[in-house]
Amino acid sequence: MQTMRFATLAALASAYQSVRTCPAVGSLRAARRATLAMAAAPLTVTTLWRYPIKGFPPDSLASVSLKENGTFPQDRLWAVADAADDGGFDAAAPQWVHKQHFFGAFRSRDRLASLNTSFAANGKLTFYGSDPVTVDPSTKKGRETIEDIIQRRVGAATRLVTGGESHQFGNTRSGVRHHGDTRTIHVVNAASVAAVRRATGLDVDAAVFRPNVVLEGLEAWVEEGWVGKTLEIGGVLLEVIARTVRCDAINFHPTTGKRWPDNRDLVQEIADNFPAVGPYLGVYARVARGGTLGRGGGVAVM
């Protein structure tokens, strides 16, 4: 069923990719670029999030140091694999593996959304609750504790895996296709999120889309024309390499884990309400030049 669902979403994305080549959409892109150039409001970074374990809650950061072709340190560094079907992931020679092989937001958001965790600078993970538990995933005991906690939530055997700092358990192959690296930065425009919230009436905020960076001060959907462009944030350069096609993960509230009322399909509703956009929201970027990225920093689109 999950494979069929993925295939359906991929077909929908492909169809809308074709639609975007029409002249009317090209004109819309040009108008959006002009609007961005004339915007009076400052374009700034308001949120920086990392997700040390794929599918777990994010840690909010005030600033982050980035290296060329890297990502947020420890972002999607770990993932909870399905012990019975891990997609052939090999920690000794890590390659990109589709998210359907991991218990994360795509296949388990309803069971993981209510997790309350934080990841410390020393690499230790704390599960909060009436009896908080702190573990070190780099140790065998720590991994076994995390596996046991998640196994009880998802009802299946799990395996906590990592490919090391040079491997990211991201949702996209865009980085591999573009520059041969799994690591990317996911950027979301707060105005596009607000447009979806207004159009659908659902309690949608940026957390639904699990970005690394949230930008304020833009017109809705201007980021749709950014592929091939570069974002300059302080001394950091982010090369935009792909748009983000959305999947079933966004059909759940980010903190309660409940599906939207009446089982509404947010992926389809974005495509229906914004036909020139399709089932997309957000962009993926490569770190073209490293440096320090901070909240409140100004952004230029080049």
Average pLDDT estimate for 258-286: 96
**pLDDT: which is higher, 10 or 233:** 233
Confidence of residue 41 (pLDDT cuts 50, 70, 90): low
Mean pLDDT over the full length of the chain: 87
Find, among 60, 150, 58, 113, the residue nearest to 254 by Cα. 113
pLDDT of residue 40: 46
Contact call for residues 29 and 296 (beta carbons, < 8 A): no
Find, among 132, 135, 156, the residue nearest to 144 by Cα. 135
Whether 43 is covered by a domain: the verdict is yes
Cβ neighbourhood burial of 27 (10 Å; 0-12, 13-18, 19+):
exposed
How far is residue 150's CA from residue 7's CA, in Å, rounded to a whole number? 27
DSSP class of residue 54 equals: T
Find, among 147, 138, 157, 145, the residue nearest to 74 by Cα. 138
pLDDT in tens, 178-211: 999 999 999 999 999 999 999 999 999 999 999 9
Looking at the chain, the whole-number percentage of residues with pLDDT higher than 90 is: 75
Domain match, 296 and 181 both: yes
Asked which of 135, 162, 189 is the last residue of a domain, the reply is 162
Domain match, 177 and 297 both: yes
User: Please, what is the angle between helix 266-273 and helix 190-200, to 10°?
Assistant: 100
How far is residue 106's CA from residue 96's CA, in Å, rounded to a whole number? 16
pLDDT in tens, 81-123: 999 999 999 999 999 999 999 998 888 888 888 889 999 888 8
Q: Which tokens go with 28?
A: 């819309």
Measured in degrees and rounded to the nearest 5, phi and psi for residue 229 equal -95, 175
Domain count, the chain: 2
How far is residue 276's CA from residue 32's CA, in Å, rounded to a whole number? 12
DSSP class of residue 2 equals: H
Domain match, 264 and 186 both: yes
Asked which of 120, 140, 162 is the last residue of a domain, the reply is 162
pLDDT of residue 16: 47
How far is residue 210's CA from residue 58's CA, in Å, rounded to a whole number? 8
Average pLDDT estimate for 42-49: 93
Domain match, 225 and 84 both: no
Confidence of residue 15 (pLDDT cuts 50, 70, 90): very low
Domain match, 282 and 261 both: yes
Question: 193 lies in which domain range?
Answer: 2-48+173-301
pLDDT in tens, 131-184: 899 999 999 999 999 999 999 999 999 999 999 999 999 989 999 999 999 999
Whether 135 is covered by a domain: the verdict is yes
- Model confidence at 286: pLDDT above 60: yes
pLDDT of residue 37: 42
Q: Which tokens go with 220?
A: 């809705």
pLDDT of residue 39: 44
Least confident of 8-12, 24-28, 233-237: 24-28
Q: Which tokens go with 267?
A: 């992926």
How far is residue 20's CA from residue 25's CA, in Å, rounded to a whole number? 6
DSSP H or E stretch at residue 196: helix 190-200
- Model confidence at 34: pLDDT above 60: no
- Model confidence at 273: pLDDT above 60: yes
* 163-178 CB burial, b ≥16 within 10 A, e <16: beeebbbbbbebbeeb
- Model confidence at 220: pLDDT above 90: yes
Asked which of 162, 185, 211 is the last residue of a domain, the reply is 162
Whether 34 is covered by a domain: the verdict is yes
